[in-house]
Amino acid sequence: MRLLLDEHIPREAARALRRKFPALVVVSIYDTSWRGLPDPPLLETLDRDGWTLVSRDVNTIPEFVKARLAAGLTHGGIIYADSKRLRQSDARGLIRRLIAFVEKHGDEDWTCREGWL
């Protein structure tokens, strides 16, 4: 599993995951050239390069994912962090849920899969 944490996920989450799982490839979008890329080309890039996206964007990302699938395209996988269940200001809670998620699903292929923290 290779995780890209989007703009709404704090950088500290990537650092915490790397400390807990040294073999896990996880980066913050802030540390890439993909920052600011619109969602459709970002999803294309992540699919092509084998990245799973971790995002709080439960409003637009699902629609773009649905459109990709309807067009016969794939995606690299999406893990949603819903703000209703997990407050934006709760970075520690988010990190705990990401750790639990990786412990449970870290060895799985997330191509064309969607899940929730």
Instruction: Give pLDDT, residue 85.
Output: 74
Domain ranges of the chain: 2-116
Write b or e for each residue in 9-46: b if 16 or more Cβ atoms lie within 10 A of its Cβ, otherwise e.
bbeebbebbeeebeeeebbbbeeeebeeeebeebbbbb
Q: Please give the CATH number for the structural domain made up of 2-116.
A: 3.40.50
46-101 pLDDT, tens digit each? 999 999 999 999 999 999 999 999 999 999 999 999 777 777 778 899 999 999 99
Instruction: Give pLDDT, residue 90.
Output: 84
96-113 pLDDT, tens digit each? 999 999 999 999 999 999
Please tell me the distance from the alpha carbon of residue 75 to that of residue 14, in angstroms, as a whole number.
Answer: 21
Q: pLDDT confidence of 28, banded at 50, 70, 90?
A: very high
